[in-house]
Amino acid sequence: MVKTPPAAAGPTARHVSAMFTRIARRYDLMNSLMTGGRHHAWRRLVARAVADAPPGPVLDLATGTADLALAIRATDPHRRVIGADFSEGMLAQASTKLRAQGHAHVLLVAADALALPFADATFAGVTSAFLLRNLESLERGLVEMRRVTKVGGRILALEITRPDVPLWGPLFGVYFHRVVPAIGALVAGDRQAYTYLPESVERFLSPPELARLMARIGLRAVRFRRLALGTIAIHSATV
């Protein structure tokens, strides 16, 4: 029997929800500052990949401020998108953004990724951006994603990961562990949240380990692609 690696264990749901609610108002700004605005391009790649899913709605888990949900709609305007999150602060920011942009076809739902309030095989695709390393149980979260996806549907996950590029890895470590918390303290007023960010990446699975876990819980055609000198990975799979 293959056991889930210890790194798959995540923080408590209550801790994560409270933390993301605290930083919700500055979340978009911090993402742009930390990535030089590249996070939008990564989301567009996920959106284009899930556009290949069969007909039907797409669930964007941990939708945050709805950037990925909006990217999916922009790529596939006829696709219905449901954005789910368990942070009230994030959902409030997403709702404001959707109203301002007139996106009535994105529905927001308060939901826990480990116990989704949807029937089996509801969605043609399930996406997530920066969700998996925050789950209290990674395996349970992946099983739920598979459960609510119809046969032939797509699952896409965008995550920060530890780079394995020589020389760049140590430099990125300095930036991630020292500079990012300082920016978080200055811009978001929350050093703790942006100290948690690099720590959560350090204890998370490597892209190959995550791919093996996804295959182990029954997903098919599992692949991953590294971006941004190995600091970002997009995993894709079919149910």
Domain of 109: which CATH number? Answer: 3.40.50.150
Using CA atoms, how far apart are residues 76 and 48, in angstroms rounded to an integer?
A: 8
- Residue 82's DSSP bridge partners are 59, 107
Tokens 């349970």 found at: 140
Q: Cα-Cα-Cα-Cα dihedral of 194, 198, 200, 203, to 10°?
A: -160
Look at residue 98 in the predicted model and tell me its pLDDT. 94
Token pair in block for residue 78? 């006829």
Domain of residue 138, residue span: 6-238
Q: Report the domain count for the chain.
A: 1
**C-beta separation of 53 from 151 below 8 A:** no
**C-beta separation of 24 from 87 below 8 A:** yes
Tell me how many degrees the CA angle 161-219-66 measures, rounded to the nearest 5.
55
Look at residue 51 in the predicted model and tell me its pLDDT. 95
Please tell me the pTM assigned to this model: 0.91
Q: Is residue 197 one of the residues assigned to a domain?
A: yes
The helix or strand, by DSSP H or E, that contains position 173, with its residue range, turns out to be: helix 168-174
Q: Is residue 79 one of the residues assigned to a domain?
A: yes
Per-position pLDDT tens, the chain of length 239: 233 333 444 567 788 888 999 999 999 999 999 999 999 999 999 999 999 999 999 999 999 999 999 999 999 999 999 999 999 999 999 999 999 888 778 999 999 999 999 999 999 999 999 999 999 999 999 999 999 999 999 999 999 999 988 888 888 989 999 999 999 999 999 999 999 999 999 999 999 999 999 999 999 999 999 999 999 999 999 99
**C-beta separation of 70 from 53 below 8 A:** no
Q: Is residue 1 one of the residues assigned to a domain?
A: no
Q: Is residue 68 one of the residues assigned to a domain?
A: yes
DSSP symbol at 125: E
User: CB count, 10 Å around CB of 192?
Assistant: 13
Using CA atoms, how far apart are residues 43 and 38, in angstroms rounded to an integer?
A: 9
Q: Is residue 169 one of the residues assigned to a domain?
A: yes
Largest Cα–Cα distance in the chain? 50
